[in-house]
């Protein structure tokens, strides 16, 4: 008996924006060699639905993602209002007092793969911050320096970096690259119906302008509506507002005082009475937004806090209100449909996790692309397990920022300290970390951890967490640690003299461009 094998060759992505076009680009680039034998990537995008367009922060993974897609970093800077991001600075999160701030940089601590320096720093007489002791990047950000020079090749780095970008310009830029260079078929049409097979798979989408579009694998990038996975296949939503309280954002674009005003080389996150304000510097403007809990503060009060932060005279456009429903789908891949981006879920943008989740999901789909329908459910199960793990770890990490606070000045901060709002895994780790510093074995053992042990160290010790450590009596270990700390001091000094200002380098990129790979 011959069993029919249904090859997976026609990939249909429904929805554009950053999620849709990144996913299309990653899959098309990975499978370019199959295009001649009939492999296709089609993106169906509504001509009437606008994108959310405020996700302006990325992770360093974006560099390899764009490089693999064949995108020129120079052209990326020139067309998407791009700036360098070297981490995040958190102000007023610990005590709310003047000067309360710490960095979460993108560089690993000095010698991180060889030795955990945190216990040595904790055991010594601590002078300065943990970040400055083990990494030069906090100093680079404080001084507004770039992570490389104009002589550094595209995507290479002297200090690890990601990007700040204009999401409204990024999607059209990706669209042009995907359609012209990667042979992605672009269909501008509104989906009016979703057709299913007898087994429940999605057979096709019916569009008003382009008729029926069939596929073997459908990727839902329809945003909050989750037209395919949520509405058609009935996959439920797992709410996590009991852990992460912020449910609304007010976003606004802000002008610089002058065209040559200093530009931050990191995302600024400033805690407020019932949430926090992001501040992202692009070459032509700043993107600012107040993320808050509507159960703890009114919209008028949140608006007033935002205006006090930006100053009414600097406001460029009207304030946009964006609902945040913290949580994610119960599964991310069902039948022959997988959700990416907002269709999969959303969390407050505290650590820029939205776009990196798109990248990781697209990469996993591209690399594990099922050869046929017969193996798809196996791959779907693996995808769901990996993606559920990632969402859970991000929720833990975001909550960490709240549970370490010493603020008790408002109900919002006090409620975040309630044990019932803290995930059990995070509770267990916090207990463990009272006696040993975060390290690779603390369940940070997956490939491509979104937030590795180093990220937890930066937040814990940036917010004054105390780990009781015994002095290391191993003379050799102590000498190696001392040498590494000295090497970081020397590296910091060297980078401060070699690296240009953030804005100066971006001006040179626009004028001269980077050396191509």
Residues with a catalytic annotation lie at 85
Torsion of CA 462, 108, 349, 495, to 10 degrees: 90
Which residues are within 8 A (CB) of 255 and not within 5 positions of it... i.e. 6 or more apart?
Answer: 285, 286, 314, 316
- Helix residue spans in 88-159 (DSSP H): 118-123, 130-134, 137-142
Of 258, 195, 146, the residue nearest 504 (C-alpha):
146
Of 23, 60, 312, 301, the residue nearest 178 (C-alpha):
23
- List of long-range contacts for 74-77, beta carbons under 8 Å, 24+ apart: 74/154, 74/509, 74/513, 74/514, 74/516, 76/163, 76/173, 77/506, 77/509, 77/510
Quickly count: other Cβ atoms within 10 Å of residue 390's Cβ: 23
Asked if 516 and 153 touch (Cβ cutoff 8 Å), the reply is yes
Which phi and psi angles does 282 have, rounded to 5°?
Answer: -105, 165
CA distance 266 to 284: 16
Asked if 190 and 48 touch (Cβ cutoff 8 Å), the reply is yes
Counting DSSP H helices and E strands in the chain, the numbers are 15, 21
């Amino acid at each position: 008996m011959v069993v029919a094998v249904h090859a997976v060759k026609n990939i249909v992505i429904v929805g554009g924006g950053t999620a849709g076009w990144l996913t299309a680009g990653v899959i098309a680039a990975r499978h370019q060699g199959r295009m001649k034998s009939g492999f296709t990537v089609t993106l169906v995008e509504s001509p009437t639905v606008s994108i959310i367009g405020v996700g302006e922060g990325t992770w360093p993974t974006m560099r390899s993602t764009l490089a693999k897609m064949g995108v020129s970093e120079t052209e990326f800077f020139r067309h998407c209002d791009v700036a360098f991001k070297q981490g995040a600075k958190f102000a007023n999160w610990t005590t709310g007092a003047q000067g309360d701030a710490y960095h979460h940089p993108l560089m690993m601590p000095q010698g991180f793969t060889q030795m955990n320096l945190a216990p040595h720093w904790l055991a010594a007489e601590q002078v300065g911050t943990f970040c400055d002791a083990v990494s030069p990047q906090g100093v680079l950000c404080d001084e507004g320096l770039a992570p490389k020079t104009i002589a550094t090749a595209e995507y290479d780095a002297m200090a690890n970096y990601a990007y700040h970008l204009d999401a409204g310009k990024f999607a059209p830029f990706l669209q042009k690259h995907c359609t012209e260079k990667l042979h992605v078929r672009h269909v501008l049409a509104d989906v009016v119906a979703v057709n299913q097979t007898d087994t429940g798979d999605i057979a096709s989408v019916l569009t008003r302008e382009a008729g029926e579009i069939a596929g073997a694998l459908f990727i839902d990038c329809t945003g909050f509506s989750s037209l395919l996975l949520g509405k058609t296949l009935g996959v439920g939503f797992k709410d996590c507002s009991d852990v992460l309280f912020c449910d609304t954002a007010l976003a606004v674009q802000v002008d610089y005082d002058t065209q040559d005003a200093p530009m931050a080389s990191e995302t600024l996150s400033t805690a407020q009475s019932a949430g926090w304000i992001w501040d992202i510097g692009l070459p032509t403007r700043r993107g600012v937004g107040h993320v808050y809990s509507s159960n703890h503060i009114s919209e008028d009060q949140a608006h007033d806090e935002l205006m006090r932060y930006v100053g009414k005279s600097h406001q460029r456009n009207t304030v946009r209100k964006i609902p945040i429903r913290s949580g994610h789908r119960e599964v991310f891949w069902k039948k022959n449909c997988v959700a990416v981006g907002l269709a999969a879920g959303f969390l407050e943008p505290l650590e820029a996790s939205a776009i990196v989740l798109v990248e990781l999901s697209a990469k996993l789909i591209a690399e594990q692309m099922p050869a046929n329908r017969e193996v798809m459910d196996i791959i779907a199960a693996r995808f769901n397990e990996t993606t559920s793990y990632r969402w859970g770890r991000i929720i833990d990490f975001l909550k960490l920022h709240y549970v370490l606070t010493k603020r008790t000045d408002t109900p919002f901060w006090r409620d975040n300290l309630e044990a019932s709002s803290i995930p059990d895994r995070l509770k267990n780790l916090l207990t463990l970390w009272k006696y040993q510093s975060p390290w690779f074995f603390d369940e940070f053992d997956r490939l491509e951890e979104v937030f590795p042990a180093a990220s937890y160290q930066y937040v814990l010790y940036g917010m004054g967490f105390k780990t009781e450590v015994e002095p290391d009596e191993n003379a050799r270990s102590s000498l190696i640690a001392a040498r590494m700390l000295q090497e970081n001091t020397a590296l910091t000094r060297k980078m401060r003299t070699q690296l240009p200002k953030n804005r100066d380098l971006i001006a040179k990129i626009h004028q001269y461009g980077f050396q191509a790979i």
